[in-house]
Chains A and B, each alone.
Chain A
Amino acid sequence: MHASTWAGVKLVFRKEAVSALRFRAAWAAMFMFALTTLACVSLALSGARLAAPLAAALLWVILFFASVAGADRVFAEEDTSGTLLALRVYGGAQAVLLGKMLYTFVLLLALGVFTVPLFLVFLDMTVASPLLLAMACVLGLAGVAAAGTLIAALTVGAAANSGLFAVLLLPVILPVFLPAISLTAAAFGAGEASLAYLGGLVLYDGILAVGASVLFDYLWYEE
């Protein structure tokens, strides 16, 4: 990566982190959404044990919708405050995209660190392979961050923004979602983990990140 682009990525990442510390609403809503959903599921189950594949699917449904509650705000602050034009003038497309993608990834990792242990406690799940669970979560959330950043740029200025983000993200993220659920189920003790799923996750994360990078130029440099 070019040195100036990397410097730009770091600047954009720092700007996002500072904004998030000043305006806590976006990430606070995301964490509270995850907590509320977890509590609802746990209460509804009343202590009943879930089979590993079902628990894995439930965990990823919670992670997906909680991610949506936070990741759709990636460009929204600049859009509502009117500073998107300034960012467009001073920031290169790749620096802005990668900086925001990196920030989203860190935010979603924090969400994972918050949600997964609570999920294990509330639903009384035992983890057969903690390393596999960690890898599935990191790779799955990386895919959501890669796709979510581009989708958030697409929905800037659109009507019905919040619902739209989930609608646009889900079909694109399914190739990440399905292997991540299978790997998580294996980590919970349901069968053997397939290396093909892990390789597929890494590959598709890469495809999403490269695809977003190539296409973002067309959105950023408007004529």
Chain B
Amino acid sequence: MLLRAAIVLLTIGVLFAVFCLVPPAEGLGYYVRLAFFHIPVAWVAVLAFLMSAYYGVRYLSKQELLLDRLSAASIRLGFIFVLLATLSGALFSKLTWGAYWNWDPRQTTIFVLLLIYGAYLTLRSALSGADRARRARVCAVYALFSFLTVPFLVFIVPRLYFSLHPQPVLNAAGHIDMEPVMLATLLAALLDATCIYLYFLYRGVKELPAGGKRHE
């Protein structure tokens, strides 16, 4: 209850900062407000994938169904966040570059992530008739196997293709190209999105029927 109240307060604070404190950015104007939504949801979309792979590894070593449920719940939430990141990114792209979609490397990366999330959820529903242990094992293996694309998506694609996407906040040169109020708002928005993800992740798993015992 206390945690939920804290998250709501943080969200209100972030919204206030985005609409009342953040100044218009050079070249972007007030469109920059969208970035305070887009960057946090994109971050959580990646974080959810990492968490799913992490719980997948732990499931394969411990065979506890609770870990499988955490991995699957992370993918379900990640799918929502990756959809929001894709839509907000496309809108931002239209407002700043003039087109919703042009297969920019960052758009490619987020779209492949969307495909992986979709593929995982399709696999899980296709195995709904199988026993839970097999479904858990198969899904964990796929989560880890698809994780092999991460080095390619994060490190290789942005270097192979020309990108219009702005540099990350912490860029290769090590400079933070942002005003202090913007940086503080962005960090708060990142914390807020992460808390919302973690809250729904653990609450969703807690509400499911018990089944965290090790298979015998």
Q: Does B54 contact A (CB under 8 A)?
A: no
Q: How far is the CA of A215 from the CA of B140 in the complex (A)?
A: 9
How far, in Å, is A166 (CB) from chain B's closest CB?
A: 10
A-B pairs with beta carbons under 8 A, tally: 84
Total interface residues in chain A, CB < 8 Å:
31
Name the CB-closest residue of B to A154: B138
How far, in Å, is B103 (CB) from chain A's closest CB?
A: 11
Q: Which of B39-47, B92-100, B145-153 contacts A (4 or more CB under 8 A)?
A: B145-153
Question: With a CB–CB cut-off of 8 A, which chain B residues contact A40?
Answer: none
Question: With a CB–CB cut-off of 8 A, which chain A residues contact B137?
Answer: 218-219, 222
Q: Does A157 contact B (CB under 8 A)?
A: yes
Q: Does A130 contact B (CB under 8 A)?
A: no
Q: Does B201 contact A (CB under 8 A)?
A: no
Is A174 touching B130 in the complex (CB atoms < 8 A)?
no
Q: How far is the CA of A222 from the CA of B128 in the complex (A)?
A: 18
How far, in Å, is B125 (CB) from chain A's closest CB?
A: 8
Total interface residues in chain B, CB < 8 Å:
32
Q: Does A189 contact B (CB under 8 A)?
A: no
How far, in Å, is B51 (CB) from chain A's closest CB?
A: 18
Is B133 touching A223 in the complex (CB atoms < 8 A)?
yes
Is B123 touching A158 in the complex (CB atoms < 8 A)?
yes
Is B156 touching A215 in the complex (CB atoms < 8 A)?
no
Q: Does A132 contact B (CB under 8 A)?
A: no
Beta-carbon contacts of B71-112 to A below 8 Å, as 1s and 0s? 000000000000000000000000000000000000000001
Is A167 touching B118 in the complex (CB atoms < 8 A)?
yes
Which B positions have Cβ atoms within 8 angstroms of A? 60, 63, 112, 115-116, 118-119, 122-123, 126-130, 133-134, 137-138, 140-142, 144-146, 148-149, 152-153, 156-157, 160, 215
6 more A-B contacts (CB under 8 A) besides A158-B130, A161-B126? Answer: A151-B145, A172-B146, A207-B148, A215-B144, A215-B145, A223-B133
List the 5 shortest-distance A-B pairs measured between CB atoms, nearest first.
A175-B152, A158-B126, A171-B115, A171-B116, A159-B126
